Amino acid sequence: MASSRRLLIVTSEVAPFAEESDTAPLVRALARGLEDDFDARVMVPRYGCVGERENSLHEVIRLSGAEIAVGEKKEVLSVKVASLPDVSLQVYFMDNDAYFGRGGLARNEEGIPYDDNPERALFFTRAVMDTVRSLRWGPDVVHAFGWAGGLTPMLLRTEGNGQALFEKAKTVFTPDDVEAGPGLTDDFLAFTDLSTNGEAGRSLVEAGLGRADASIHPPAVEANGAPQFNEAATEHPRQAAEMYEQVLA
C-alpha cells in the first residue's frame, strides 16, 4: 500500500547512474528499503558520464525549458527521467550542458575540483525546486546528500519560504567526503547575491549541515544545534524511516 508520506532525495550521486563515493550505493539502498514507508523520488544532476541510451533516459518535456538563474546568468533546464533498477521509483536528472556536460562529477581528470562547483550546486537545487513546483508534489521530508545537495536546506528555508509545497518540509542532510572546492567564497556570494546569514567561507557540505533540521553522521563541524543521527540511520532503511518520523514530529 502506497504511503501518504513523501520523501524527496536530493543527491550528488545515486547508483548505478553516477558513482564516486559511498553516497551512491547508500542512496540506492535507502530508496529501495523505503518503498513501503514513503512515496519517494530521487533527483540528481545528469552528469556527462550518465549516458542517455545505456541508462534509458528520456526527457520530460513538460518539466523542461525553465530558465534557472545563477547570478546574472540564466541557464535552461532539461529534465530527464529513468527508473531505478529493481525499484519502482523514478530518478529525475537535472540536465544542463554548461554545468554538467563534463566527464567528472565534482572534479576533473586530474582530481582538481571544478571552480564552479558552488554555481553547479546552486543551479541544481533551484532546478530541483522548479521541478517540484512543476510536478505539484510537495515533500514532507527532503533528504539532501553530498556537495551538490549542500545548498538545499538553506534554499528551502529562504527561497522556498512561503511556498505551500515547501513550507512544511523538514530537511535532513548527509555529507560526503568528496573534495568539491572552497564552497561559499566571497566572490561566489557577491556573484549570486545569496543571503547566507554568516555562512560565508563554509564548504558546501558545511552549509548543508548548518541549515538542516537534522543531520546524519556529520564530520566534526558545527551542525547548527540540529539533531544528529548515527550513520546507521541511512544504512538501515527501517531506522531511516523512524528517523524521518522523529524529524516530522
Each residue's pLDDT tens digit, 207-246: 998 899 998 864 444 455 555 555 555 666 777 888 888 8
pTM over 0.85: yes
Q: How far apart are CA 184 and CA 70, in angstroms?
A: 14
Q: How far apart are CA 226 and CA 231, in angstroms?
A: 15
Nearest to 18 by CA among 66, 40, 51: 51
Give the Å distances, CA to CA, from 113 to 29, 92, 108, 131, 182. 27, 24, 6, 27, 9
Q: Pick the closest to residue 209 from 190, 189, 183, 187 (CA basis).
A: 183
**CATH of region 6-248:** 3.40.50.2000
* Share of the chain residues as helix, strand and coil, in percent rounded to the nearest 5: 30, 20, 45
| Distance separating alpha carbons of residues 50 and 111, to the nearest angstrom | 19
Per-domain residue ranges of the chain = 6-248
Q: What is the pLDDT of residue 200?
A: 73
- Give the pLDDT confidence of 65-114 residue by residue, as tens digits: 999 999 999 999 999 999 998 877 899 999 999 999 998 999 999 999 99
Which one has a higher pLDDT value, 235 or 187?
187
Which contiguous run of DSSP H or E holds residue 55? none
